[in-house]
Amino acid sequence: MEFKEATLEERHLYYKKEWKIKDLPPFLIDSLKQREFGFDHDGNGPKDRYETFNSVREFERFMKIKAPYAAYSSISYYEKPEKREGWMKAEIVFDIDAKDLKVRRCDCTPGNICEICLEDAKELALTIIDTLRSNFDLKNIFLIYSGRGYHVRVLDEEALYIEDRSKIFDYVTASRVPEDLFMKHGYPEVFRKMFAFTFSRMKNMRSKELIENREEIINRMLNRRVDFLDFVRKNTKK
């Protein structure tokens, strides 16, 4: 089943009868005054930028009147969010868009998503959360549904001040093949989990696509896939 976009009338009805300000995550409410907000009013991107709010009531009124197609908050905290000046700190965020998954179990047309896509995106997000908790000892992590996938937002205080985050992203997303593939813990375990996630969703019709996307990894591992999958089954926590 593919999803259809809501009309403006349907959005107004949703914000009037279903959307509740109390459903916003506490971390967003608590930092409302330090964030810049952007809004997409017609499905063509967040052209309404640099919006700020001094109270929850003000934010609620805006949402109910405008009924935006999509709403965005900055991951950074600012002293002057209306100008994006005076950077204070920033969340670490992983954006998992269901339509961008490298391997998909469904047959959605390009740019579309379905329940299967979203299920896989959620499982990938949960895998990332597990790695952040077990390998980095991070605990204040939120999983947010974005409408087309999920955002993993890390709010541990010590993580908010890290400036160079590329190594964390590379580690968590298993961007390189480890030297010791079968080391039980640490990065090799992360790599095995990410590979198993991808490999388990491979469809015959998409094998070529997967190999083209991750040629170095696949060529080195498919030759020993039986031993690999047996090892994953015995040694990787699900």
What per-residue confidence (pLDDT) applies to 106?
A: 81
* Cα separation, 85 vs 3, whole angstroms: 38
Do residues 201 and 120 make contact, with C-beta atoms less than 8 angstroms apart?
A: yes
- The pLDDT tens digits for 55-101 are 999 999 999 999 999 999 999 999 999 999 999 999 999 999 998 88
Stretch among 39-48, 119-128, 171-180 having the lowest mean pLDDT: 171-180
Q: Residue 9's pLDDT is what?
A: 95
Grouping H, G, I as helix, E, B as strand and the rest as coil, residue 167 is: helix
How many whole angstroms separate alpha carbon 82 and alpha carbon 69? 21
Residue, of 238 and 24, whose pLDDT is higher:
24
| Domain range list for the chain | 8-90, 92-235
Residues 53 and 33: beta-carbon distance below 8 Å: yes
